[in-house]
């Protein structure tokens, strides 16, 4: 019986892992069998280029792509369209000079998360509820910078008996007159009369370099504080304390059972999110 090497044009091939340059034991045996009784058959040598390894930060390798695609804000052109839309609206209404846009998550007094675009101008802080599905502004809250008197930075804190707690750090901005909100406002989950707003970083901040730039709290804070200080210096209101207090302390969220926020936050009801098809 002829050996394997006697078949002309046939070359035994072994499966090797990439990067393994040493011949395997099977290769050596096949070459020896092919040398018996005839000259070795010349083989075609193929040059293998080393694979190029690239290391990138965006998107975050720990972020599953199908999860990030559910958020409409991550879709191509969505955040750029929102910025242009709001820029045109501000130019038409107030004509104020825009200092920057940020995409953050607002946490209300009942611990509900809400996706928000924040805009700092020379005179105002604008808090925008933007519909990234329809690409339209649904609500715009206007806060004069001269009315902001305190900023708190720190970790979130809850009452000892609270059942729905959150980890992480945030930023709380106080405006208006110092003092506690009314009992009716505190216990009304839909109240819009709270004299403060609480923010944390957006969950999709690591999906692109653009979002990382506008979703980080330190960048927003470093722009907000000098803007408020300048507004206080230029304010013509008499009798107002022209000093901004910046404190580092726990941010208290007074929720106890937190059933509504538990359901809403787990299902991301405060975000423009693809919910899946409902029909058949």
pLDDT at residue 125 greater than cutoff 70 = yes
Instruction: Report the pLDDT value the prediction gives residue 248, as an integer from 0 to 100.
Output: 96
Tell me the three-class secondary structure of the chain, residue by residue.
CCCHHHCCCCCCCCCCCCCCCCCCHHHHHHHHHHCCCCCCCCCCCCCCCCCCCCCCCCCCCCCCHHHHCCEHHHCCCHHHHHHHHHHHHHHHHCCCCEEEEEEEEEECCCCCEEEEEEEEECCEEEEEEEECCCCEEEEEEEEEHHHEEEEEEEEEECCCCCCCCCCCEEEEEEECCCCCCCHHHHCCCCCCCCCEEEEEECCCCCCCHHHHHHHCHHHHHHHHHHHHHHHHHHCCCCCCCCCCEEEECCEECCCCCCHHHHHHHHCCCCCCECCCCCCC
pLDDT digits (tens, 9 = 90+) for 30-79: 444 444 444 444 444 444 444 455 544 555 544 566 678 899 999 999 99
The residue ranges of every structural domain in the chain are 1-53, 65-266
pLDDT digits (tens, 9 = 90+) for 162-195: 877 889 999 999 998 887 777 777 777 777 788 9
Structurally, what CATH architecture does the domain formed by 65-266 represent?
Answer: Roll (2.30)
pLDDT at residue 233 greater than cutoff 70 = yes
Which of 65-74, 79-88, 155-164 is modeled with the greatest confidence? 79-88
């Amino acid at each position: 019986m002829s050996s394997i090497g006697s078949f002309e044009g046939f070359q035994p091939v072994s499966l090797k892992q990439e990067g393994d340059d040493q011949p395997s034991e099977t290769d050596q045996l096949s070459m020896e069998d092919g040398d018996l009784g005839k000259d070795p058959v010349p083989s075609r040598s193929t040059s293998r280029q080393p694979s190029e390894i690239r290391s990138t930060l965006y998107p975050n390798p720990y972020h599953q792509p199908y999860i990030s695609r559910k958020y409409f804000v991550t879709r191509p052109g969505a955040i750029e369209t929102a910025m242009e839309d709001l820029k045109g609206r501000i130019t038409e209404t107030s004509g104020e000079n825009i200092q920057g846009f940020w995409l953050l998550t607002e946490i209300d007094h009942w611990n509900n998360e809400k996706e928000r675009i924040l805009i700092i101008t020379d005179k105002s802080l604008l808090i925008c509820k933007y519909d990234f599905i329809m690409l339209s502004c649904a609500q715009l809250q206007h806060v004069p910078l001269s009315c902001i008197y305190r900023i708190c930075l720190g970790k979130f804190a809850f009452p000892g008996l609270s059942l729905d707690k959150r980890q992480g750090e945030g930023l709380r901005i106080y405006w208006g007159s110092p003092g506690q909100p009314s009992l009716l406002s505190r216990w009304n989950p839909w109240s819009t009369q709270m004299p403060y707003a609480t923010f944390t970083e957006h969950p999709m901040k690591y999906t692109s370099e653009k979002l990382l730039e506008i979703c980080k709290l330190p960048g927003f804070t470093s722009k907000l504080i000098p803007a408020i200080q300048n507004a206080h210096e230029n304010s013509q209101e008499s009798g107002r304390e022209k000093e901004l207090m910046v404190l580092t302390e726990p941010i208290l969220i007074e929720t106890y059972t937190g059933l509504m926020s538990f359901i809403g936050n787990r299902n991301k009801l405060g975000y423009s999110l693809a919910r899946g098809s409902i029909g058949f």
